Structure 1
């Protein structure tokens, strides 16, 4: 701290924190659609701060800690309060407990990420990332407004969604991190065509497409976990057998 801090990446983190705080302000004012949009803005700032830090080689321990604290507000407290005020309040204790569970699971997810950042594969996240969980909640609110559905529509489904997202954040389900260096290297021409087509579809129906993309990402983890279960079981059995054989050899020696 005596040597100073890097301004640029931390400004993006502060922007993410501001967006999360303003989401809570909009929620308290009853403007839930605006609150949901500010969560999406916060996720954009959160994605940029790390990339800016890496590109400018200004990553620091202070920036990592500041980013985690900002994420607790923007992707834990803000969406938890939004979903409670928008749809979960009629459930009473079960409703506000869902909002609190979302917050505490987000904090636990961030704490686990900080202690595992040097020991896990960079291409995969362990547990649902907090920005994705918060963005899924905001996309749900925007979908209701886009469709003209009242907040009372399908409230049990919204409650189940919040519990589901909270549990995914602290699970061992792995999610693609989009940090693969090969993504920025040369790609086939068809990849560019697909990307342009995807942008056109998103521009045509942004709310529907954002909801579809987020829910697809949410379920990609559990689906991948189920599909790779037999292979993981075989690997665990092979490792257990190898450890047993090694133990027998050591005991005989």
Structure 2
């Protein structure tokens, strides 16, 4: 009969998730379910609800990371779950929704465009996970993102659908043009283009009250006229991409001209709060 000592050292089981970690991960699971429900609505032909479900997934995705930081419940498990959920909600779901909407009319080219979008979204998230522990990230250190974040990439992919719903014009559902647009959105997600992050959006002090009012009016417009408002918001974000390029180039030039070299940053444990939160 063997005793415990005869069996050698036992592998210690890792503790389960704490209750604090359950909350942000439950929000991530809700975002995943919302994205999958968008596919269900698209199969039924209700494309308005399908887009709304993905937008809801994007809102939940923005909450889970902040909840994790607020509760001090950042975990590697949460980072991996968030990445997997994002790949489905903002990669697979938009690709299938747009394919079921119009790309199925050109099955070969349309399906390849949908695949390109889904694959590039997954590649973007994999690239982010691979860089979690890297200290040398020039874009992040300067307050910029690399490429278009996955939730915003899904929002860009839906632009023709927004226009189609808002105007009712069939031209916006042209499968060839929508296929090219999906490929462009896929490229923007995996590109190395520096895009503006939240830390870079700092309006001047004298304009901040106006910004608060503008945000309030935008929310009211989303409730009353959601589709034209989504078109405007998407176009504004597209215009911010070249602004981000110019701003990043200026920041890099100023960094090279600085007479003092900043000391290396002290290594810190990465905050696993979602692939596109930074």
Length-normalised TM-score, structure 1: 0.81
Q: SS of 2:169's equivalent?
A: coil
Report the TM-score when normalising by structure 2: 0.74
**1:2 maps onto 2:32 in alignment:** no
- Aligned: 1:66 with 2:86: no
1:146 to 153, 163, 166: 166
Aligned residues: 234
Q: Which runs of 5+ in 2 are unaligned?
A: 1-12, 258-278
- Is 1:211 the counterpart of 2:231? The answer is yes
Following the alignment from structure 1 to structure 2, what is the Cα–Cα distance between the partners of residues 124 and 153? 33
- Report the CA distance between 1:156 and its aligned residue: 3.2
Q: Which moved more, 1:69-78 or 1:169-178?
A: 169-178
State the secondary structure of the residue aligned to 1:48: helix
- Which residue is equivalent to 1:197? 214
The alpha-carbon deviation at position 193 of structure 1 amounts to 2.5
SS at match of 1:175: strand
Query: Which secondary structure state, in structure 2, belongs to the residue aligned with residue 172 of structure 1?
Result: coil
Deviates more, 1:127-136 or 1:100-109: 127-136
Who is 2:156 aligned against?
136
- Mark the CA change 1:25 to 1:76 in structure 2 (over 3 Å): closer, same or farther: same
Correspondence for 1:52: 67
Q: CA RMSD, aligned part only?
A: 2.9
In the alignment, the residues of structure 2 paired with residue 198 and residue 166 of structure 1 have an alpha-carbon distance, to the nearest angstrom, of 28
Which structure has more RCO (C-alpha within 8 Å, separation ≥ 6)? 2
Shift in Å, 1:106: 0.2
Counterpart-to-counterpart distance in 2, 1:58 and 1:235: 35
Q: Which of the pair is proportionally richer in helix?
A: 1
Measure how far apart 1:7 and its partner are: 0.5
1:85 aligns to what SS in structure 2? helix
Question: What are the equivalent positions in structure 2 for 1:172-187 lying under 5 Å apart?
Answer: 172-179=192-199
Q: Distance in 1 between matches of 2:49 and 2:77?
A: 31
1:76 aligned residue: 91
Farther off after superposition, 141-150 or 103-112? 141-150
- Distance verdict in 2 for CA 1:7–1:202, change over 3 Å: closer
